[in-house]
Amino acid sequence: MKSDAGPQISEVGPREAWEILSKDAASVLVDVRTAAEWSFVGTSDLSQLGKDVIRLEWKSWPDMSPNPAFVGALMQEVGELPSRFLFICRSGARSMQAARAVADALSVKGTPVECINVAEGFEGDLNEHAHRGGLNGWKAHGLDWRQS
């Protein structure tokens, strides 16, 4: 029986994502949040690893409409395909969608690349006070980040 599930997307926590990025020189981190989120909330900082974060909106504010050029723009940005794409958003939902789209597109082209979702995302889940950034996620794990 044929499965239409497509390529599998694995998930890792923020600390494991940092480990992958630090040990695999050909891996890249793609932040799929909006430009407003990058500016006001901050972004992962991979300068210690000699890498830059690729920032490419999966959905755009304010209506959160999907970016139809996402996959093509990402391929143009990276040039040569990396060993792994790690995708991150606020809390892990949009990044999973983006990871799925890229994995599906590359699979159809016959050039599968491992696509990994960073569970918890950059800010993580809401805490008991309905605030993000302290319970889990990239920031809460104390990983390098910066604001502009």
The DSSP line for the chain is ------S--EEE-HHHHHHHHHH-TTEEEEE-S-HHHHHHT-EE--GGGT---EE--SEETTTTEE-TTHHHHHHHHHSSPPSEEEEE-SSSHHHHHHHHHHHHHHHHTT---EEEEETTTTT-S--TTS--SSSSSTTTTT--EE--
End-to-end CA distance of the chain, in Å? 51
Per-residue pLDDT reduced to its tens digit, 55-108: 999 999 888 999 999 999 999 999 999 999 999 999 999 999 999 999 999 999
Does residue 5 or residue 146 have the better pLDDT? 146
pLDDT bracket for residue 7 (50, 70, 90): confident
Domains of the chain: 10-146 (3.40.250.10)
What does the pLDDT look like over 116-132, one tens digit per residue? 999 999 998 888 888 88
pLDDT value, residue 4:
55
The percent of residues in the chain predicted with pLDDT above 90, rounded, is: 79
